[in-house]
Amino acid sequence: MHLFDVYPLLPIEPVSASGCTVTDSSGIRYLDLYGGHAVISIGHSHPHYVARIEQQLRNIGFYSNSVQNSLQKELARKLGKMSNYPDYALFLCNSGAEANENAFKLASYKTGKSKILSFSKAFHGRTAGSVACSDKPSIRAPFCVSEDSVTFIPLNDAEAAETALRSGMYAAVIIEGIQGVGGIVTPDPDFLQTLRQYCNQYQTPLIVDEIQSGYGRTGLFFAHQHADIKADLITVAKGMGNGFPVAGVLISPDFIPAHGQLGTTFGGNHLACAAALAVLEVMESESLMAHAQRIGDYLFSELSTIHTGISGLRGKGLMIGFEAAPQYPKLREDLIYKKHCFTGASGKQTIRLLPPLCLSMAEANQFITSLKDLIS
């Protein structure tokens, strides 16, 4: 048997990592400005994280959700407090796509409707419902949810949002706190506030996908909180477990649970909860949200002084995007192979920075110096 060919792979095999540094099988050390798609939130191999999981594994690693698991309740309380959603309920699952699928189900159960309103350049995952709500037709199979079940409108177009919602056809609206795969595109705060008003007016649940933009990455726990709004359903994953597969849906008290509507085998297992609790504990003890804001502001300030080679600087905190100029078509590859800096990409020219929240000032300067060297 061989591996199914899914991704074009870099010729690099990481074998160890610590903090914001990844070391490959040849002994080359890389500065990690991407965190494996924004997954590494508190840093690679954080001692508290490792100890928490090791200890939990010595006790019990897994049992089904048909029995009590006090770690789930502890996680819900901690997450509610730190995210400023203490009165919401938590459903635990395994991946961002699964979190979105369950949010769609909850909204559909509540409203009795089936259509979802989404936005241009959105990405919400690769399962049937979530991929249908992703504005990327090439990754949809004929099996997936009918295109008639999803409407896409331009981001920040309040008139289009009201026109759609006024029809009364939609079970929910889903929007990313900041579009990640779409290229680090931030919804206007005024638009988010207006969208919240329309969702209230037309009794349509608002789902905010914070899978990539949440967990302190933007300086607040969730990116949508910069617009001073609350969502009805918030989906989380990626940075939630710092590499351990765990995800969840934060659910408004307006949703009444019914046995059998939601379920999961592995979601919220003992190891997942231990990992997720470790992440929150480190975020709190090391003030990583404030740190992400401070280092992100510094990176943004330094990048804004570079007037040749890059353009279109955007983002919040440690979720930053910019465009490489046409004369630097291989800027991301050069950062990796010449300067040993991992970054992300979106399309051919967009560079995405999604480092661990513990990125130091020295490491931020290392990246800026490397970038300037390549475009000088």
For domain 47-285, the question of CATH label 3.20.20.80 is answered with no
Q: Which amino acid is at 109?
A: Y
Q: How far is the C-alpha of 311 from the C-alpha of 321, rounded, in Å?
A: 9
Domain residue extents for the chain: 47-285, 288-347+369-376
Tell me what pLDDT residue 38 has: 97
Tell me what pLDDT residue 143 has: 84
Burial-class residue 339 by CB neighbours within 10 Å (0-12, 13-18, 19+): middle
152, two tokens: 């896409």
pTM of the prediction? 0.97
Pairing of strands 29-32, 21-24: antiparallel
Q: How many CA atoms lie within 13 A of 245 on its CB side?
A: 9
| Alpha-carbon distances, residue 249 vs 107, 201, 316, 366 (angstroms) | 12, 23, 23, 37
Tell me what pLDDT residue 176 has: 98
Sign of the CA dihedral running 86, 90, 95, 96: negative
First to last CA, the chain: 47
Tell me what pLDDT residue 213 has: 98
Length of the chain: 376
pLDDT (tens, 9 = 90+) of the chain, 376 residues, equals 999 999 899 999 999 999 999 999 999 999 999 999 999 999 999 999 999 999 999 999 999 999 999 999 999 999 999 999 999 999 999 999 999 999 999 999 999 999 999 999 999 999 999 999 999 988 888 887 777 899 999 999 999 999 999 999 999 999 999 999 999 999 999 999 999 999 999 999 999 999 999 999 999 999 999 999 999 999 999 999 999 999 999 999 999 999 999 999 999 999 999 999 999 999 999 999 999 999 999 999 999 999 999 999 999 999 999 999 999 999 999 999 999 999 999 888 999 999 999 999 999 999 999 999 999 8
